[in-house]
Chain A
Amino acid sequence: MNGDDSKKTEIAKQAFERARRMRNYAIAGILLFLVVLFFLMTIVRLGGQVGNTG
């Protein structure tokens, strides 16, 4: 591998890591949002029965 190829690979690796980091943050945010949404919607669907454990 010559110097140019090695430089290209290094740039691509950095870009890949940056893109992967941002994708991971986005996935984490979406999953957290869905957890909150499902919890809140379950409470909404239960309505007045939310405290009824019997």
Chain B
Amino acid sequence: MSVTAEGRELSEVAGEFNLATVGDYFALLKPRVMSLVLFTGVAGLVLAPGAIHIGTALTALLSLAVGAGASGALNMAYDADIDRLMSRTRLRPVPRGVIPAGEAAGLGATLAVGSITVMGLFVNLVAAALLAFTIAFYVFIYTIWLKRRTPQNIVIGGLAGALPPAIGWASVTGGLAVAPLVLVAIIFLWTPPHFWALSLYRAQDYARAHVPMLPVVKGKSETRRQIVFYTVLVVLSGLLPVALGFAGPLYLAASVGTGLWFLVASIQVAFERDAVKEPRARRLFGISILYLFALFAALIVEQVAGIVPFAPLSVG
């Protein structure tokens, strides 16, 4: 029997037996999103002044990663109906039928409570409160309220994905400051051009599922304009760590270099002629990830290598 035929027959009887693998449960936690959350959380953690025990730091990062996974599982449980309609998401474990939505929700809720509790007990209450806020914002404000109602869904909802550097910082200091909030602002402004690039070449998917993404509601031309606008904002905000004196020459080079690349790519998307395949939007989506990675990697490397940041710009 071929693998395909066996897979088909297994799927026919999947209702009778729980065939979900460990990999299916792991996929439920959105590991790619989790890795980005972890990476930006590390940046906040290493940037923060003061000392933290390595065990406490690893526990904070574990709680952050599990909290992000919990959000992903709760999101997949709630969105199973629309995920089933979109080619990008239809193979996720819940729409595929290998994990029931109720089980995904149960796992997500358990992991959410567990991660917040561990963060509160072993790290500090401020970091735990921020983690709880992040999970609640992603699930209730973004997933349940905004996603199916407004094209501003990912603009406002982006706050949830932007908070990990603040959680990393709070894990060390027990509070917040300007530096982590600037990092939050960078990710917050980065989210719209990143997801609108995706929505340009997945517009039919979103239309089929009645998700009011910007290209579906306002059209592709308006989406292209908004992408350029937000890319200008994020590239400018990407220079703030230098101006405020918590980033050095490596960060400046990464920010200017990849920032210009990001900006040029967004302008090229504005002049796209192939509105069906959207090759420039696909490219922009990849470049946006590289941009954010370069910024946060530069911050981490500068801290670890002990590179001295520039003096803050003074006005007057």
Contacts and interface: CB of A to CB of B under 8 A. Distances in A.
A23 B13 contact: no
A8 B12 contact: yes
Nearest to B14: A12
Interface in B47-61: 53, 55-56, 59
A12 B16 CA distance: 9
B25 interface: yes
Contacts of A22: 21-22
Determine chain B's interface SS by DSSP, over half rule. Answer: helix
Interface residues of B, number: 21
A49 B211 CA distance: 56
A22 to B, nearest CB: 5
Contacts of B12: 8
Contacts of B10: 11-12, 15
- Top 5 closest A-B pairs, CB basis? A16-B17, A12-B13, A41-B122, A26-B22, A44-B55
Interface in A1-31: 8-9, 11-13, 15-16, 19-20, 22-23, 25-26
Contacts of A11: 6, 9-10
B19 A12 contact: yes
A10 B54 CA distance: 49
B35 interface: no
A20 B6 contact: no
B17 A15 contact: yes
A20 B121 CA distance: 32
B20 A19 contact: yes
Best-buried of B13, B14, B53, B121 by chain A (most CB within 10 Å): B13
